[in-house]
């Protein structure tokens, strides 16, 4: 069987990174999201005092945890912002 493409490997890395911080409950508490951002996205998101706001925005169903669908929305948002930087004239 052919191996996964770089794109497919990237999607798996996103899932594995989420699991690294969520554990088997597959949800991130605010402290876990903060750790993930600080350790894994510190070039793309600066630590600042807006984590509360970001968390509230992501937590669409207001259960005070970030599930995978909510997390992937963050990844999509950040990747789109990066793409815009890449394509600025």
The count of chain residues that interact with its own copies, using the rule CB under 8 A, is 36
Instruction: Name which position in 34, 35, 59, 73 contacts its own copies (CB under 8 A).
Output: 73
In whole angstroms, give the CA distance from residue 22 to residue 68: 9
End-to-end CA distance of the chain: 42
28 - beta bridge partners?
66
Please report whether residue 5 would count as binding its own copies according to CB under 8 A: yes
1 vs 52 by CB, closer to its own copies = 1
Written as six digits, the tokens of 22 are 């969520």
Q: Segment near its own copies (CB under 8 A), from 47-55, 56-64, 68-76? A: 68-76
Nearest Cα residue to 33 out of 11, 13, 12, 56: 56
Q: Contact positions toward its own copies, by CB under 8 A?
A: 2, 4-15, 17-19, 26, 39-44, 68-69, 72-73, 75-76, 78-80, 82-83, 86-87
């Amino acid at each position: 069987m052919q191996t996964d493409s770089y794109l497919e490997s990237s999607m798996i890395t996103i899932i594995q990174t989420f699991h690294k911080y969520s554990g088997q409950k597959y949800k991130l508490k605010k402290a876990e999201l903060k750790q993930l951002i600080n350790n894994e996205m510190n070039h793309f998101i600066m630590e600042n005092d807006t984590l509360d706001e970001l968390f509230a925005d992501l937590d669409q169903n207001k259960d005070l945890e970030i599930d995978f669908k909510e997390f992937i929305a963050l990844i999509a948002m950040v990747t789109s912002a990066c793409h815009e930087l890449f394509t600025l004239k």
